[in-house]
Amino acid sequence: MLQDRYRVMRLISSQSGFGKVYEAYERNIPKILKVLKESHTLNAKVLELFQREAMVLSRLNHPGVPQVDVDGYFVYAPKGSHQPLHCIVMEKIDGPNLKQWMVQQGNHTIGEQQALLWLTQLADVLHLVHQQNYFHRDIKPENIMLRGSGQLVLVDFGAAREMTETYLAHLGASGITTVSSAGYTPPEQEQGQAVPQSDFYALGRTMIYLLTAKNPSDPTIYDSRTNALNWRIYAPQISQGFAHLIDDLIAPRAIDRPQTTEEVLQRLMAVRSAQSQPPPIMVEPVTVPEMPSWPTTTLGNSPEATQPQTTTQIEQPLQKRWIWSGVAILALLIGVPAVWSGVLRSRDTTPSASQPAPVQTVSLARTLGEHTGPIKALLLVNGNTLISGGVDRKILIWNLNQETPARILEGHKSVINTLALSTDQQTLYSAGADQDILIWDIASGQLKQTLPSAHDSPINALAISPDGKILASGSADGMVKLWDAETGELIEQLREQGPLVNTLLFNRNGESLIAGGAALETWNLQTQEETEFQASQNFINSLATSPDNQVLISASADKTVRFWDLATGDLVDTVTAHDRSVNDVVVSSNSLTFVTASADGTLVVWDMDSRQPIERLHGFDSDIYRYVEGPAQQVITTGGSDNTVKVWQKSSP
């Protein structure tokens, strides 16, 4: 016990700057304890930095900074030691930092709406910090954490400086140099002359990382010969106005950046205002008659719905690759190997153009908006009950005909990443960043059982075997476990550590379990044989199997849908399906179609009988993170940057 008040539980990290980080408890309240490393206790400059962090945080009262009490800094004298320990106790932020969050999400990019929200939150935090005559000096993804509520939190204020001080470039014999993080530190700070606008530079570079999923020093976007950062091509999802703001934030000269947090916030408001303006009407659409048409569905209640789309805009970049690959994909899904091989042999021949399907309209039926953070998981139960869970740590159970939840389940201590449903649809399994698995009775909403510390890192995926007897779980550290779905007892640990797991899937007969994420592997649960599939090019977000159980379909962050021989692990075909990360792939309930959902804000539907795309649904007002097939021609979606579930109704042609 420290100060007869704090019970130290475990070491979290010894790699955090000048200090070690522990988990501690004050009564039953979790805290973070930072202890200055003993090797630095006699260094006056380091001690000053450590004490400054406590002083700065104790002066700030904002959900975007960790809370430190006035007496949060103290000195403790351990028994038998001549050197005192310098300690800071602060609020524990229940969530990952943005670097960890990106890895958990499969390293795919965020959309403009989420970027605007997060940049506004961070600018608001900096506004408070700068008003207190401090600036941070070390903004980067690792120093930004995500609360369960969706609020970003700026951490590690050890490098914060008063605006009136003379900045220290080198601390002489101490061996400590200017605070610097490659790719995020501006030129003037590298020279030991940081200014408040230095925070804006780091903020802009952080946004580029989130929008492109590439570190600012990545050679694919950074040209060291010209010192140019060519990032825009990797963030096609954002508007010109927002891109201009980010470019201004990362201007090489501090004088060319926005000068105050007020200016940054005003420009963010201007970007949002510009988005609310109706797009210009195009009078003369350009047609390309030699191209077969891509049927298009327009969604109501969206600015895009009022803008006539040209054939060139919608069809030309995608049609040939979709038409060529459509037959192959649909043959896979209906399980006709002979047809599949025939398609492969005839890929160089031009298929005859089919008649375009009637254009349908889709309107927004209702918005389910009780969540206070992004939604990570969706399930449909018995055709009319929807279950959602996400960043706000809540599970909401909805009747699709109502706009308020019928029941709210609370019990998780952090972000909910995944949900699974028992085969009789009576039991719900949930898991996430708190590393626990919770088991619920859906009818009553009661928590039946908790599997505490089921994993050592955030749990990203759950799956139920077709016979309902086995629950599988997979985590960010690559661990895969099997549990008795009824008793919660651990059956087996298939893998102790390995590539990150994003998604799990039992094959249709339950004999194998497939894990996708940073790699793709399958385990035969009868023989314990493990098959590693041919290496994928990017993180896998979702998996599905063909009706004949022979082909595995994977949706990836590199915009592709891949088709694999489930028996051998061989890659059969790759289709570039979308303009951004493919987040979900779902085979329809009647097995006649499958749907891909993407961060580009589109759904693509394929018909298995005609082996042609039926429609491309576009006009959604955010990226699409999860998709559920609803009853009566309904489409249910949620976006990674949206806190709502939206129900869309298809109309008759």
Predicted local distance difference test score (pLDDT) of residue 361: 63
Q: Which of 278, 130, 115, 142 is nearest to 211 (CA)?
A: 115
**Do 76 and 104 sit in the same domain of this protein?**
no
Q: Tell me: do 71 and 131 sit in the same domain.
A: no
214 and 163, same structural domain?
yes
Residue 128 located in a structural domain: yes
Q: Is 643 within 8 Å of 372 (Cβ atoms)?
A: yes
Region of poorest pLDDT, from 95-104, 349-358, 502-511: 349-358
209 domain-assigned: yes
Q: What whole-number distance in Å separates Cα of residue 506 and Cα of residue 464? A: 7
Rg from Cα positions in the chain: 26
Which DSSP symbol is given to 119?
A: H
Is residue 157 in some structural domain?
A: yes
Q: Which domain holds residue 60?
A: 6-91
Residue 593 and residue 389: Cα distance in Å, rounded?
Answer: 26
HEC secondary structure over 223-253: ECCCCEECCHHHCCCCCHHHHHHHHHHCCCC
Cα end-to-end span (Å), the chain: 71
- Tell me the sheet residues that pair with 20: 35
At residue 610, the pLDDT reads 60
Output the CA–CA distances (angstroms, integers) from residue 231 to 39, 177, 209, 236, in the order listed. Answer: 41, 29, 9, 10
Q: Which tops the pLDDT comparison, 246 or 391?
A: 246
User: Distance of CA 317 to CAs 294, 296, 423, Å?
Assistant: 11, 14, 42
Q: Give the residue-averaged pLDDT of 527-539.
A: 75
Is 518 part of a structural domain of the chain? no
- 154: its two tokens: 């700026």
CATH number at residue 183: 1.10.510.10
491 — pLDDT class (breaks 50, 70, 90): very high
Question: Could you give the C-alpha distances from 237 to 52, 242, 281, 579, in angstroms and in order?
Answer: 40, 10, 21, 9
The answer, yes or no, to whether residue 282 has pLDDT greater than 50, is no
Query: What's the token pair of residue 56?
Result: 């700065």
Predicted pLDDT of residue 504 = 97
pLDDT at residue 352, rounded to an integer: 28
**Residue 27's CATH number:** 3.30.200.20
Token output for 272: 């949002």
Average pLDDT over residues 561-566: 88
Bridge partners of 263, per DSSP, are none
The pLDDT, as a whole number, for residue 609 is: 58
pLDDT of residue 538: 63
Residue 28 structure tokens: 């039953």
Domain annotation covers residue 41: yes
What is the mean pLDDT of the segment spanning 262-286? 63
- Written as one string, the DSSP assignment of 163-186 is TTSPPPSB-GGG--B----TTTS-
Q: Identify the CA nearest to 35 among candidates 71, 85, 69, 101.
A: 85
112 plus 76 within the same structural domain: no
* More confident call, 110 vs 539: 110
Q: Are 214 and 78 found together in one domain?
A: no
Q: What is the DSSP letter of 70?
A: T
The share of the chain scoring above pLDDT 70, in percent, equals 78
- Domain-located, residue 64: yes
Would you place residue 303 in the very low, low, confident or very high pLDDT band (cuts 50, 70, 90)? very low
Strands (E), 446-590: 447-451, 459-464, 470-475, 480-484, 490-495, 501-506, 512-517, 520-524, 530-532, 540-545, 551-556, 560-565, 571-576, 582-587
pLDDT score for 290: 34
Domain co-membership, 107 together with 51? no
Please identify, among 44, 62, 91, the residue that sits at the C-terminal boundary of a domain.
91
Question: Is residue 475 assigned to a domain?
Answer: no
What is the rounded CA–CA span in Å between residue 58 and residue 56? 6
Q: Which of 275, 290, 322 is the last residue of a domain?
A: 275
In terms of domains, do 245 and 189 share one?
A: yes
Whether residue 511 has pLDDT greater than 80:
yes
Mean residue pLDDT across the chain: 76
For 269, residues 6+ apart whose C-beta sits below 8 A from its C-beta are: none
Q: Does residue 223 sit in the same domain as residue 111? A: yes
Predicted confidence at residue 78, as pLDDT, reads 79
Q: Count up the domains in the chain and report the number.
A: 2
User: Measured between alpha carbons, how far is 367 from 299 in angstroms, rounded to an integer?
Assistant: 14
Pairing relation of β-strands 144-146 and 222-223? unpaired
Q: Are residue 113 and residue 197 in the same domain, yes or no? A: yes
Choosing from 67, 91, 115, the residue where a domain stops is 91
C-alpha distances (whole Å) from 623 to each of 397, 637, 650 are 23, 9, 19
Please tell me which of 85-89, 174-178, 466-470 the model is most confident about, judged by mean pLDDT. 466-470
Query: Is the confidence at residue 555, as pLDDT, over 50?
Result: yes
Task: For residues 122 and 227, state if they share a domain.
Answer: yes
Please write the tens of the pLDDT for every residue from 197-256.
888 989 999 999 999 888 888 888 888 787 788 888 888 888 889 999 999 998 988 898
Starting at the edge strand that comes first in sequence, how are the strands of the sheet with 385-390 ordered?
375-381, 385-390, 394-399, 407-410
66 with 200, same domain: the answer is: no
Assess if residue 292 is contained within a domain: no
Question: Averaged over 622-629, what is the pLDDT?
Answer: 85
Residue 29 shares a structural domain with residue 49: yes
Residue 167 scores a pLDDT above 50: no
For residue 283, the model assigns a pLDDT of 30
Q: What is the pLDDT of residue 170?
A: 36
Measure CA 225 to chain center. Answer: 33
| Per-residue DSSP letter, 252 | S
DSSP 354: P
Q: Are 397 and 386 in contact (CB under 8 A)?
A: yes
Section 371-376 average pLDDT:
83
Q: Which residue has the higher pLDDT, 68 or 460?
A: 460
